[in-house]
Amino acid sequence: PQDVGIHALELYFPSQYVDQTELETFDGASAGKYTIGLGQQKMGFCTDREDINSLCLTVVKRLLEKYSVDYSAIGRLEVGTETIIDKSKSVKTVLMQLFEPHGVTDIEGIDTTNACYGGTAALFNAISWVESSAWNGRYALVVCGDIAVYAKGSARPTGGAGAVAMLVGPNAPLVFDRGVRATYVKHAYDFYKPDLTSEYPTVDGKLSIQCYLSALDNCYQLYGKNYSKKNNSAFDLGCFDAVLFHSPYCKLVQKSLARLALNDFLTSAPNQRTVKFPGLENFNSVKLSESYFDRDVEKAFLNFTKDTFEAKTKPSLLIASQVGNMYTPSLYGGLVSLLLNKTVSELAGCKIGLFSYGSGLAASLFSITVTKDSNENSPLAKLVKNVQLIKPLLAQRHKVAPEKFEAYLELREKNCHKAPYEPAGAVDNFFPGTYYLAKIDELHRRFYERI
């Protein structure tokens, strides 16, 4: 099959959020730390009415309805998540409740886990399936979802929650490039969840940033080599029209784009440097592995990439700044944001670079080429039109005061894994079509209803 890629894209985020300016005051952090320092505006969160199953049920149902996809058209369903509520039973099997009433049970695929990378692993599995001898002509549906919550402290403002669903098949408007993907996987204890009774990770913030940036350097360089070999031409940041990143917080993404320019700078021939990177001569002897926290390097390259950031990356940060780090869906929320902020003709023909990072660690840099057909009846126009319907929901959310947000997190903390359990949170403000947890019985079986 040719042009395997994304046909349909759906995003779900919770209908309530906490404002980061209010959270700064509430936490006693200096004004601007979360909003300017981290680049975050609002943070979506879940009450005890939502869990990983309900988030994924909502996003899958919404995608199938919005794009009028028949249940029997799905031949593979993959879930990527790090929000584990059962050590054996997958989220995928819970999602089968949507398919069974339609007599559809022959669907391959199961859950994949490694921090924020599970969604990308699920996506790669789906692409491989469509390209393989096992493919039966049907679509693959990739679902990524997470509830990102941190213990009280410096990491808490970098939480978020949400889910993304992607319909993958041949002859798609967003086509995955073949033969260029670059991956970097290593053993690290930067962020992990060893306490199975808690939703909170154990996190070494500084180490996680270093791991993220070193994975980015490595993936970018390998991608560049693969690109040059495949296309028989030089590679640099100019080869991408848009660059999307996993976004723990938006400021790290801006620094990451600057980091790619630093990579380009260091790999260009000395006589090219003065031409392509005027004013950066002082950094000729910088070493990547020693510059993760070098303020001078960071500042110079942030400044150098200011316009590139505005043009190629900022349009992909809408959901990240308004909802927060959704973990596995974060990068794909970036893709949704890009489609929200560009017109069909601007998108047509674009090459999009995507960097996925999951602590522990696993990372990949891959790319999408958007089809050139921007006709109003084209698959691309249909996709963009449907994605646009997500935008108004951001403004329809309800703001919750930090005190109440904290009380909800305490409620989740206290009742995590409790059975039987009757959730207390209200559901009347949920978006229409949202699945919510109705109850957990004494055997830990979960039951869901839909608004």
Q: Residue-wise over 6-30: b if at least 16 C-beta within 10 A, else e?
A: bbbbbbbbbbbbbbbebbbeebebe
| Cα(19)–Cα(79) distance, integer angstroms | 30
Closest approach of ligand ACO to the CB of residue 286, in Å: 18
Q: Does 21 interact with ligand ACO (rule: CB under 6 A)?
A: no
Q: Applying CB under 6 A, which part among 54-62, 201-209, 228-236, 259-267 lies near ligand ACO?
A: 201-209
56 exposed, middle or buried (CB, 10 Å; 0-12, 13-18, 19+)?
A: buried
Q: Does 139 interact with ligand ACO (rule: CB under 6 A)?
A: no
Q: Does 168 interact with ligand ACO (rule: CB under 6 A)?
A: no
65 is catalytic: no
Q: Applying CB under 6 A, which part among 2-10, 35-43, 163-171, 274-282 lies near ligand ACO?
A: 35-43
Q: Which 337-396 positions form the footprint of ligand ACO (CB under 6 A)?
A: 359
DSSP-assigned letters across all residues of 52-72: HHHHHHHHHHHHHHHTT--GG
Q: Which residue from 40, 208, 218, 256 is in contact with ligand ACO, where contact means CB under 6 A?
A: 208
The continuous run of DSSP H or E covering 27 comes out as helix 20-27
Q: Does 33 interact with ligand ACO (rule: CB under 6 A)?
A: yes
Of 82, 108, 199, 211, which is the active-site residue?
82
Of 24, 108, 144, 246, which is the active-site residue?
246
Q: Does 258 interact with ligand ACO (rule: CB under 6 A)?
A: no
Which of 4, 38 has the CB closer to ligand ACO?
Answer: 38
Q: Does 36 interact with ligand ACO (rule: CB under 6 A)?
A: yes
Q: Does 13 interact with ligand ACO (rule: CB under 6 A)?
A: no
Closest approach of ligand ACO to the CB of residue 230, in Å: 29
Three-state SS at 143: strand
| Residues paired with residue 78 on neighbouring β-strands, in sequence order | 142
Closest approach of ligand ACO to the CB of residue 391, in Å: 25
Q: Does 323 interact with ligand ACO (rule: CB under 6 A)?
A: no
Given phi > 0 = left and psi -120 to 50 = alpha, else beta, which region is 433? left
Q: Which 98-117 positions form the footprint of ligand ACO (CB under 6 A)?
A: 116
Closest approach of ligand ACO to the CB of residue 219, in Å: 14
Q: Does 154 interact with ligand ACO (rule: CB under 6 A)?
A: yes
Q: Which of 8, 6, 160, 11 is nearest to 82 (CA)?
A: 160
Q: Which residue from 11, 63, 126, 203 is in contact with ligand ACO, where contact means CB under 6 A?
A: 203
Of 46, 116, 211, 350, which is the active-site residue?
116
| Cα(112)–Cα(358) distance, integer angstroms | 12
φ and ψ of 376, to 5 deg: -65, -20
211 is catalytic: no
Q: Which of 23, 57, 29 is nearest to 43 (CA)?
A: 23
Q: Which of 164, 142, 85, 80 is nearest to 117 (CA)?
A: 80
| Cα(357)–Cα(260) distance, integer angstroms | 15
For the chain, the helix, strand and coil percentages under 3-state DSSP, each to the nearest 5: 45, 20, 35
Q: Which residue from 26, 37, 128, 439 is in contact with ligand ACO, where contact means CB under 6 A?
A: 37
How many residues form the binding site for ligand ACO (CB under 6 A)? 22
246 is catalytic: yes
Binding residues for ligand ACO (CB under 6 A): 30-33, 36-38, 116, 154-155, 158, 191, 203, 205, 208-209, 212, 248, 251-252, 325, 359
Instruction: Please give the positions annotated as active site.
Output: 82, 116, 246
